[in-house]
Amino acid sequence: MKNEIKIRVRDLRKARNITQAQLARTLCISKQSVSNWENDNILPTVETLVRIAKYFSVSTDYLLGLDNKKYIEVTGLDERQIAHFQQLIDDIAEKNE
Q: What is the pLDDT of residue 69?
A: 82
Tens of pLDDT, residues 6-44: 999 999 999 999 999 999 999 999 999 999 999 989 999
CATH of 2-64, one of 1.20.1090.10, 1.25.40.10, 1.10.260.40, 1.10.8.60: 1.10.260.40
> Which pLDDT does position 57 carry in this prediction?
87
Percent of residues, the chain, with pLDDT higher than 90:
78
Angle between helices 2-15 and 46-56 (to 10 degrees): 30
95, containing H or E segment: helix 79-96
Q: Is the pLDDT of residue 1 over 70?
A: no
Domain ranges of the chain: 2-64
What does the pLDDT read at residue 25? 97
Question: Average per-residue pLDDT in the chain?
Answer: 92
